[in-house]
Amino acid sequence: MEYYEEPNARVALGLRRPEPGDWYHGYPEYHVERDDDKCIRCLVCVRQCPYDCTFYDPYRHGVYNVHENCVNCRRCEFMCPTSAIRMTKWGAGFRDNDNWKQKTIRTVYKQADSGAVSLTGLGNDREYVSYFDRMVIDASQVTNPSIDPLREPMELRAYIGKKPERHTNPPEVYPNLKAELPVIFAPMSFGAISFNFQRGLAMAAKEAGTYFNTGEGGLHPDLRQYGDHAIVQIASGRFGVSLDYLSNAAACEIKIGQGAKPGIGGHLPGEKVTWDVSRTRMIPEGSDALSPAPQHDIYSIEDLRLLIYGLKEATEYTRPVSVKIAAVHNVAAIASGIVRAGADIVVVDGFRGGTGAAPAVIRDHVGIPVEVALAQVDQRLREEGIRHQASLIAAGGIRSSADVIKGLALGADAFYIGTAAMVAVGCTACQQCHRGRCSWGITTNRPDLAPRLQPEVAAERLTNLLHGWAHEIKEMLGMMGLNSIESLRGNRLKLRGVGMTQVELDTLGIQQAGL
Amino acid sequence: MNHVIIGNSFAALFAIEAIRRTDQDAEITVISREPQHVYSRAMIHEMLAGMVREPMVYLRDWDFYKRMRVRTMLGRTVTRINPGLHTVSTGEDETPYDRLLIATGGKPFVPPLNGLQDVAYHSFITLEDAKKLKAACEGRRNAVVLGAGLIGLQCAEALRHMGLDVAVVEMADTVLPMALDTESSQTIAKELADEGIAVHTGDTIDLIISSDGHPTECKLRSGGTIPCDLLVIAVGVRPNIDLAKDAGITTDRGIVVNEHMETSAEHIYAAGDCAQGPEIVTGITMPIPVIPVASTQGMIAGYNMAGKRRRYGGALALNAMQFGGVQVISYGFVKDERDGEVLKYVDPPRKIYRKVIIKNGRITGAIFVKDVDRAGIFRHLMEKRIDVTPFKEHLLSPHFGVAHLPAEIRADMFTRPQ
Amino acid sequence: MKRVYPREERCINCHLCEVACIVEHSETKLPSAAYHVEGLRFNREDSRTICDPAEARAAGVPKPLNRTLVQTAGYLSLSTNCRHCEEPDCVLACKNGSLYVAEDGRVLVQEDKCVGCWMCVMACRYGAISRNPACSNVPAVAFNGINHHCDLCPERELPACVWVCPTNALVFEDRDDQ
């Protein structure tokens, strides 16, 4: 079978010789523990492991592992029919050191081995503060009765786009997205994710009455039928952009930046550019798809205005135009400029946002949390009297309906979920997306791996997730005595902070719990 | 409708089932020279050797004829077919028919050998032959089997299993000259030798020396003399066409039939070892005396007799056999390599041999020794005359399977009911 | 009549169908017993397999024999099993009538009658028949065994392979009207 080969993989039954050029693999991180008694040598795990970690030894009639290749994706555990496999950490690891942690040491080894930029996938996994986890939500008590969501209708629908300046007759109406709940699937490009997953997202978006975002990979011809639920992206690489692409969509999004890697462009390693991906993106098969860092025709805010209106003209002012930026310093000022440049939607992507591939050092150290970014942007736009001119979508590590409620209270109109959507369909957050070997068929288009995720299954699970969250949001709204997300939007009084400094509380615009 | 079938083996059996499936009211009569319940001639060697109990030899349950409402005239010989009168004669009696199936199978060919007229010798075709041979083995030591075809070798192996010393004499240079090619027959010859059977190829019996009506020695053309107190003649089987010939029905080597199994006489059909129809690889008509061909022809004949027009697509020579623990399956013409591309895989220590002959993109012959799993897929490729050029390099792989076929063919096989 | 039909675009080559088949057809229906203890049915994974089960037995490497087989070529895989044909090639080739069509349409073998002549292996154009050395009705022969093919799990409503497949690549349905 032709498989793409990982250059440093060591698949051997034979002698193990520590090599000078391979310190990273010299110390396995995980140990694949197999209960030999339960193992029936069915070899399902051998066939399922895409990381060259599991093999069958015919001489010992047993299944063995190259533990240094294990990435803890847990696919073998999941598939084993007798539950004979368990992943554990490999022994004591390096000596305990809060400054030189396991990961820190391993990263230096990896770089010393390769001399290359260390790539990774998914979102920032470091121990930065999560402001979502330090905010708590109000509830109704005696003087402000709660509403029973089973008896009263709860309005979760979000209209996303420009709103009129004042009441007029007839009313000024601008093109808006209409989402039945304020959760939209985040931009994930075809190439970074599998076709089956993108199809699942499209189907679930249609079923739940919300949207999905094509990311910068273009819209696959077989998904055109979902165009009225698609937000299409115009990123710096301009992959797949054509008039047809724009007109077939519900909204267009200019991608300036991304929370996981602010300031640099998208990255799709060549291993992930299969024939279908190459056709959709209009690039050669197998070539790295590196989007340039800036959009080379946007060097000032005036240029951005040109592009925004260019898109509006091209779509005859029938589609909202969105601009997506990463949450960085001065994000409020940037957002203000974007709104004044004519954007109907501003998407702020925090540093917990996921990615298919990014340099680890940028993913983990650049950008700011979406909570503070959101609060500041909302605050600034209100102060400048332009809050109505654009809707605000928050992205970057939205993990639950509680995060949605807190985000709404901070000022967002809607949210993008990326990682949460992947986890819903089976992702185990092993952070190997960039290698194109996703064991779950989510972030790879390799023909032997992609069928592992079936679109109907993905769509059902995603729809379930959205239904669950919608129900929880309704419960929480009712609990607060509100019956519409409109009443919650920007309503900072519904939040209190715990364990934050005064400066943090002020930045978020909320009060200390107890007050 | 009154159906009469002459014969009581595979072709007759499947004809009966086909007729009964189509027409619940039809009358079916079976007339057979042999008195037994429908049995398999291919099983008699195992029964001879005592490897199986006698019930294993019968093809259907004891109540088969009753269930199928078939009138049987077993142990009766048909002496004449009267096509004009639509009757068959069995001695004094006349049996009328609306449709007649001739399924008389084959009869052994006995060559004129010096001294043969003076001795008691054995054929090895019918159950009766096997029982007689078994009785004759009592007290005998040295068996000689003339003919190393499938029947001869199976008989030889059975006799060896019973403890006799066995020698096989074959005129061709190799054993199983019709079914196997040189390499595979060498493997089989070795298996036989390991079992203690002496094989004399490229030879024949010049003289049979006897005493008191029983053979004592055989003088071989090559010069030697081998002891012999039991002689089996298994040189070949000829289609049993006498009845048809006498009735004026067109015959060649076998009874000539068209794709509906119809003979040249109205309402008379023929099927099985006695018939000859077109062969798939060459298109030439020839008798192909193997069980699957007989069964299918019988079934098709039965349907046509009962009024359902079915066409027979043509016969493919197929063989499955086993000697000394080595299985062999072959299809088509495995020796004719002229103008063909020959793919071969040989693994001598494991006795594995796989050969495919391709002409004009189509497989004309294939042979599998020891590694026979899923060989039947080749049957499909040959019968449907599929162009194997796109996947030819995978044909010899032990993992060759339906996944290597073009998608449309596979879809046809696996996504529709068969 | 309902049969098992593969959908090759969904197959992920995991072979859980084979595992389920083996467990279902075991005495105890327990995986460990089916594979380690009961297994006298052989099928080794390495290429150029030890084709001769007697040899495999002697090598002491038991692994039970599945009735459904995942056939692969490159990235393509699908689980294949007996088609339970209406006019089965195997029944027409069976040397002593041990293969038969049951009343419900399934093609079955009388396990105490089959003599392991392999005419059915020769005849089956789908390659659906394997050789099972656990049973032999002609023990005198060095290699033997009996016909082994899918029986559509008579003790279950849904065949085990269909039930276990993680991507629903196997369906159990009646397509006779097509």
Q: What is the pLDDT of residues B24-58, one digit of tens each?
A: 999 999 999 999 999 999 999 999 988 888 888 99
Nearest in space to A399 (alpha carbons), one of A139, A110, A122, A140: A122
- Dist. CA A184–CA A124, nearest whole Å: 21
Residue C27 confidence (pLDDT) above 80: no
Q: Rounded to whole angstroms, how far apart are CA atoms B213 and C135?
A: 45
Sequence-ordered alpha helix ranges (H) in A39-86: 44-48, 75-79
**Closest CA of chain C from B82, distance in Å:** 31
> What pLDDT, on the 0 to 100 scale, is given for residue C38?
55
**Pairwise CA distance, residues A372 & A507, whole Å:** 6
What angle, rounded to 10 degrees, do the helices at B291-305 and B10-22 form? 30
Q: 């010939």: which residue's tokens?
A: B245
Pairing of strands A176-179, A158-161: antiparallel
Query: Which residues in chain A touch residue C15, judged by CB atoms under 8 angstroms apart?
Result: 42-44, 47
- In this prediction, residue C143 carries a pLDDT of 61
Confidence band for C30, pLDDT divided at 50, 70 and 90: confident
Confidence of residue A14 (pLDDT cuts 50, 70, 90): low
pLDDT value of residue A431: 95
Chain B positions in Cβ-Cβ contact with residue C115 (cut-off 8 Å): 43, 46, 52, 56
Note whether B110-235 and B325-414 share their fold.
no
Residues A52, C87: Cα–Cα separation, whole Å: 45
Q: Does C39 score more than 50 pLDDT?
A: no
In angstroms, rounded to a whole number, what is the distance separating the alpha carbons of residues B360 and A329? 73
Residues A360-379, mean pLDDT to the nearest whole number = 95
Q: Is pLDDT above 80 for A146?
A: yes
Q: Which residues of C147-168 are buried (b: 16+ CB within 10 A; e: fewer)?
A: bbbbbbbeeeeebbbbbbbbbe
Each domain of chain A, given as residue ranges in start order, spans 23-116, 132-512
- Which amino acid makes up residue B129? D
Q: What are B383-417's pLDDT values in tens digits?
A: 999 999 999 999 998 888 999 999 999 999 999 99
Amino acid at residue number B130: A
Q: Which CATH number fits domain C82-149: 3.90.1150.10, 3.30.70.20, 3.20.20.70, 3.30.300.90?
A: 3.30.70.20
* pLDDT at residue B124 in the model: 94
CATH 3.50.50.60 correct for B110-235: yes
pLDDT-derived band at C41, boundaries 50, 70, 90: very low
Residue B418 sits at the chain C interface (C-beta within 8 Å): yes
Tell me which chain C residues have a C-beta less than 8 angstroms from the C-beta of B308: none
Bigger pLDDT: B261 or C134?
A: B261
- The reply to whether C173 touches chain B by the CB within 8 Å rule is no
Token reading at A409: 């209270």
Mutate to test the interface with C, among B157, B322, B383 (most CBs of C within 10 A): B322
Could you tell me the sign of the dihedral formed by the alpha carbons of B213, B218, B221, B225, in that order? Answer: negative
Cβ–Cβ < 8 Å for B174, B190: no
pLDDT tens track for C151-174: 999 989 999 999 999 999 999 999
Distances (CA, A) of B124 to A109, B108, B146: 80, 8, 11
In this predicted model, what pLDDT tens digit does every residue of A72-100 receive, in sequence order? 999 999 999 999 999 999 999 999 999 99
Interface size between A and C, measured as CB pairs under 8 A = 68
The ranges assigned to domains in chain B are 2-106+238-305, 110-235, 325-414
Q: pTM for the full model?
A: 0.85
Residue A131, pLDDT > 90, answer: yes
Fold category of C1-81+152-178 in CATH = Alpha-Beta Plaits (3.30.70)
Per-residue pLDDT tens over the stretch A378-434: 999 999 999 999 999 999 999 999 999 999 999 999 999 999 999 999 999 999 999
Q: Phi-psi bin for A397: left (phi > 0), alpha (psi -120 to 50), beta?
A: left
Mean pLDDT, all residues of chain A: 90
* pLDDT on residue C54: 54
Which comes out higher in pLDDT, residue A20 or B106?
Answer: B106
| Number of alpha carbons in the 13 Å side-chain half-sphere of residue C19 | 22
At residue A56, the 3 state secondary structure works out as strand
What is the mean predicted confidence (pLDDT) over A13-18? 58
Q: What is the mean pLDDT of residues A486-510?
A: 95
- Residue ranges, comma separated, of all CATH 3.30.70.20 domains in chain C are 1-81+152-178, 82-149
Which tens digits make up the pLDDT trace of A277-298? 888 888 888 888 888 888 888 8
Q: Cβ C51–B352 below 8 Å, yes or no?
A: yes
Can you give the pLDDT at residue C40?
42
CA distance A343 to B107: 95
Query: DSSP strand E in chain C: where?
Result: 2-6, 69-73, 76-80, 99-101, 107-109, 130-132, 146-148, 170-174
pLDDT digits (tens, 9 = 90+) for A309-363: 999 999 999 999 999 999 999 999 999 999 999 999 999 999 999 999 999 999 9
Q: Chain A, 449-508: which have a CB under 8 Å from a chain C CB?
A: 449, 451-452, 454, 457
User: Is any Cβ of chain C less than 8 angstroms from the Cβ of B16?
Assistant: no
Predicted confidence band of residue C37 (pLDDT cuts 50, 70, 90) = low
| B377 in Cβ contact with B400 (< 8 Å) | yes
Taking a C-beta distance cutoff of 8 angstroms, is the pair A177, A428 a contact? Answer: no
Contact list in C for residue A452 (CB cut-off 8 A) is: 12, 167
Compute the distance between CA of residue B217 and CA of residue B195 in angstroms, rounded to an integer: 22
- Interface membership of A329 toward C (CB under 8 Å): no
Rounded alpha-carbon distances, angstroms, from residue B2 to B20, B27, B105, B181: 12, 5, 22, 46
Which class is domain A23-116? Answer: alpha beta
Residues of chain B numbered 353-412 and touching chain C (CB < 8 Å): 370-377, 379-380, 383, 394, 398-399, 401-404, 410
Say which range, A20-24, A493-497, B243-247, has the weakest mean pLDDT: A20-24
Chosen from B379, B388, B397 to mutate, greatest number of chain C CBs within 10 A:
B379
Residue C62 predicted with pLDDT over 50: no
Fold of A132-512: TIM Barrel (3.20.20)
> What would the pLDDT profile of B175-199 be if each residue is shown by its tens digit?
999 889 999 999 999 999 999 999 9
Counting residues of chain A whose pLDDT is more than 90, the rounded percentage is: 69
Chains B and A share 3 or more Cβ pairs within 8 Å: no
Q: State yes or no: pLDDT of B167 exceeds 70.
A: yes
Question: Minimal Cα–Cα distance from B172 to chain C, Å?
Answer: 26
Fold observed for domain B2-106+238-305: FAD/NAD(P)-binding domain (3.50.50)
Alpha-carbon gap, residue B342 to B359, rounded angstroms: 9
CATH of domain B325-414: 3.30.390.30
Measured at the CA of B321, the angle between CA B315 and CA B322, to 5 degrees, comes to 170
For residue A69, the one-letter residue type is N
State yes or no: pLDDT of A455 exceeds 90. Answer: yes
Size of interface B-C (CB pairs under 8 A): 168
Longest dimension (CA), chain A: 84
Q: ω into residue B83 within 30 of 0, thus cis?
A: no
Task: Report the residue from B59, B296, B320 with minimal CB separation from C121.
Answer: B320
Write out residues 38-57 of C within 8 Å (CB-CB) of A: 44-46
Mutation target to probe the C interface, by most C beta carbons within 10 A, among A42, A60, A274, A457 is A42
The conformation of residue C37, written as its DSSP 8-state character, comes to I
pLDDT at residue B318, as a whole number: 92
Name the DSSP letter for residue A171.
P
Q: Which residue in A356, A430, A351, A470 sits closest to A76, CA to CA?
A: A430
